[in-house]
Amino acid sequence: MGAVNFRIVPRSGKIIRYRNQSYRLVGSEPYRRRDGELSVILTWQSRCPECGEPFTTTSGLVTRHLTRRCPRHRKAGKPVSDKYKPDCHRRKRHG
Ligand SMILES: [Zn+2]
């Protein structure tokens, strides 16, 4: 089953869970897809599991995947601009 699967636009404040992470609907707006069909974009707010920062992400009414991390951690592998976060690089081996 996908992360998001609605037939009608849910109300703001709706909370869903996706892979142990909760997302709160904070907005929705209509948009026209490339093929001309009208659809809706949902805006979700969640917290990054890496740093706890709130972030927002968007989806359609039906989607299989939701972004799970804040913009900073989403770009894993790309250089972090100005803020250095040692936690990202900490790796301890047991034993
Ligand atoms: Zn983060």
Per-residue pLDDT of the chain (95 residues; tens, 9 = 90+): 678 999 999 999 999 999 999 999 999 999 898 999 888 999 999 999 999 999 999 999 999 989 999 999 987 655 555 555 555 555 555 55
Residue 33 domain-assigned (yes or no): yes
pLDDT at residue 77, rounded to an integer:
58
pLDDT at residue 69, rounded to an integer:
93
Cα of 44 vs centre of ligand 1, distance in Å, is 16
Cα of 71 vs centre of ligand 1, distance in Å, is 7
Residue 14 domain-assigned (yes or no): yes
CATH of the domain at 50: 2.30.30
Residue 82 domain-assigned (yes or no): no
User: Are the CB atoms for 71 and 55 separated by under 8 Å?
Assistant: yes
Using a 10 angstrom Cβ sphere, with 0-12 exposed, 13-18 middle and 19 or more buried, the burial of residue 56 is middle
User: Are the CB atoms for 41 and 29 separated by under 8 Å?
Assistant: yes
pLDDT at residue 86, rounded to an integer:
53
Q: Which residues contact 67 (CB under 8 A, 6 or more apart)?
A: 55, 57, 74
Global pTM value: 0.73
Question: Helix or strand or coil: residue 88?
Answer: helix
CA–centroid distance for 39 within its chain: 19
Cα of 7 vs centre of ligand 1, distance in Å, is 31
Residue 81 domain-assigned (yes or no): no
How many separate domains does the chain show?
1
Ion ligand 1: residues, Cβ under 5 Å = 48, 50-51, 53, 70, 73
